[in-house]
Structure 1
């Protein structure tokens, strides 16, 4: 077994860990534990004897301090599952050595091409090694790149006992991609004061702000009737659902927004004549605007339903996560030290928001402040996903420098 970040990454991505939003269990798929058990074995082989996997698939381990200073316990966290958006079965990673520039055609499906025009970060990768899929699956850099980086950094400290550090906790979670990554994390057992998720993208990126997020479920009960005798009587639940989606403002959809603009996004529509259901995700960086979007959605529903007096609906809002910036601003050194670590690793820090969420969003509000650090991955949730080996190495350096800074400043 070799220990480079690339070797680890290639070992992990071939293990199918796709999560399932339709499952009520946690983990939502038992196959996530296959990676968890492998990671426990590797951690124990390193000498982290407390490494274990719990009933929910979460992996915990401790890198013990080797300093006399009173250093806050920090944690590094990544998630093991891959997104339901595209298959993660039978991943065949491909390595483009010494990338010379230009588009990358994927071998398993020649119609899939990673184009420089849409993936402009490729222009900064000339001479680097790029890992892609073969075009038929996800790669799984989200977030197995983060796992490989944390594992490689842990190995570094064990191989270099002369480098002083405080206690470092390692946490690998399940079901992050379906919004449940922090649900079953035992913070008392973890015992950390601060944490960092390794779940970002472009090298040098640090994210201290996320969307606030809610999910909305709408259940519609129509009036079923034989279509031959339906005049002035039938109220088709499928048509009601479709009309709701059609009436939403086009200006607040994911495809029309960027920066700090929020959106309303339908992600599922199912049904028959009598009953139909709609699922939405609502996103904004400001909680008050999140609420406004939910009120707007329900106003659209009421307007549509007014034309169907025999039908009814149920409108349910489920909180998913909140913008972590309010929590992180209380302890600015958490982000400041990450910025310094990125500089020490030879990059210019890029501090900003992420148009999404991480386990760090939930963990921050559970009492574990937790910004997000880059992994080097790009085009997540698609067969065009790719990661730079050299950027993964820079992420390992960033973790190492960050741990050193906490010890130095203690």
Structure 2
């Protein structure tokens, strides 16, 4: 029976992680199904089976691809029910098919050349956190795919923490809920989550980056679709008549600010307008953009500036009309989390107890926790240890994943301790 959480040595998280990443779970933004790819359930079925083998009898996979499970309380106290959450899908930005994980043991600061494509090199000078990994074991892919640390590192960490909690009743905790979601990478991760079934009061996503970090602030986000209606005429008879919607769309993109308000010119808490898809022809064209800012009130300002650009360009093309469609995507979870300071206080204390210096961060993006927070489940984001997400240079260290497992155990224990 373990009472000193930090004395735990029998981790299985790296082995679990290296098994999970070999299962292709890439999501598809162009799909109209949920989950967007049926193959995501291949991993989820394995997770359910493994949870059941741990003695978690209610583990289940629902029709939408969500995994729900409960670790029963072993405390006599009335402890708030908390949830740990990660997503099973990987980004469509880089192939997740045929991932071959490699463990580079006892890292000593060298550049890491990936064998299946020697041109892909994880260089020490380009990855600042490698300086904190000397002597650790670094896991990468082989050079032709992403690794999948986003977020199979989080999945493996929750699974290993569940194993340790079930095996060690000396670690006191309240009721713990587990949630694995699909389609987080394409912004649909919690579209059909059943919070009544989940039954948690507070949650933590294990989906962050550097060891020791916990994030309570995200962008607020809107999507904008601009539909351009042109004037289509046979090109042989088009003089003075045709107005190409595609040319109008190209003009709008070209008129966006070049030296500010874009992802490539902003950092920290600066917002941006980012066109990420354009399609069409003479008669009709569409531009999809994402609008981001840490201050929710700034979204309408950015959208107004974008609308002014659209109007100025459209005015140069007689007969052309446009539609400007705004869709809310998610909001800055800090607006919710600030109302429940205990969640962050316990997260920070758990990281301290692991022996790390906690770092409170903002995310230039969003997580499932952003939407869950506004759905009534306040949910900050805890480190999972991965780096260089969504590309062939993605990496994670075994030791950082083990620290994340310990952090989960401490979070669960501190909630019981403070109840």
Among candidates 268, 277, 286, match of residue 268 of structure 1 = 277
Corresponding residue to 1:216 among 192, 210, 224: 224
Please say if 1:140 is aligned against 2:148: yes
Counterpart of 1:80? 88
Matched with 2:5 is none
Normalising by the residue count of structure 1, what TM-score does the alignment of the two structures yield? 0.98
Q: After superposition, where does 1:9-48 map in structure 2 within 5 Å?
A: 9-48=17-56
Distance 1:66 1:139 in 2: 36
2:343 to 334, 337, 343: 334
Q: Which residue of 1 aligns with 2:404?
A: 395
Q: 1:230 aligns with which of 226, 229, 238?
A: 238
- For the residues of structure 1 that align with 2:48 and 2:188, how far apart are their CA atoms? 21
Q: Report SS of the residue matched to 1:71.
A: coil
Deviation at 1:104, TM superposition (A): 1.3
Matched residue SS, 1:252: coil
- Distance in 2 between the 1:91 and 1:315 partners? 41
1:106-152 CA-partner distances (Å, limit 9, x unpaired) = 11111111122221111111111111111211111000000000000
**Cα distance in 2 for residues equivalent to 1:164 and 1:46:** 18
Once residues 24 and 360 of structure 2 are traced to their aligned partners in structure 1, the CA distance between those partners, rounded to angstroms, is 32
Match of 2:73? 65
Q: Distance in 1 between matches of 2:75 and 2:254?
A: 61
**In the TM superposition, what is the alpha-carbon distance from 1:331 to its structure 2 partner?**
1.0
| Pick aligned residue for 1:378 from 347, 367, 387 | 387
Looking at structure 2, the residues matched to 363 and 130 of structure 1 have their Cα atoms a distance apart, in angstroms, of: 32
Aligned-partner Cα distance in 1 for 2:134–2:174:
37
The alpha carbon displacement at 1:273 in A equals 1.9
Q: Is 1:314 aligned to 2:323, yes or no?
A: yes
User: Aligned partners of 2:41 and 2:66: how far apart in 1?
Assistant: 8
2:64–2:192 CA contact under 8 A, matched in 1: yes
More displaced, 140-149 or 129-138? Answer: 129-138
Aligned-residue Cα RMSD (Å) equals 1.1
1:193 equivalent in structure 2: 201
Task: State how far apart, in whole Å, the 2-side matches of 1:24 and 1:259 are.
Answer: 34
Q: Report how far residue 3 of structure 1 moved.
A: 6.5
Return closer, same or farther for 1:156/1:65 CA change in 2, 3 Å cut-off.
same
- Secondary structure at the aligned position of 2:393 is classed as coil
One of 242, 259, 266 as aligned partner of 1:257: 266
**Equivalent position to 2:127, from 111, 119, 127:** 119
- How big is each residue's C-alpha offset from its partner over 1:379-403, in whole Å with a ceiling of 9 and x where there is no partner? 1111111111100000001000111
CA deviation profile, 1:68-91 (whole Å, cap 9, x unmatched): 010000000000111111111111
Worse overlay, 307-316 or 384-393: 307-316
Contact 2:11 2:402 in 1 (8 A): no
CA distance in 1, matches of 2:53, 2:61: 15
1:54 — aligned with what?
A: 62
Q: Which runs of 5+ in 2 are unaligned?
A: 1-9
d(CA) in 2 for partners of 1:162, 1:126: 33
Give 1:342 deviation, angstroms.
0.2
User: Alignment partner of 1:369: what SS?
Assistant: coil
Q: Which moved more, 1:116-125 or 1:397-406?
A: 116-125
Instruction: State the alpha-carbon separation in 2 of the partners of residues 98 and 3 from structure 1.
Output: 17
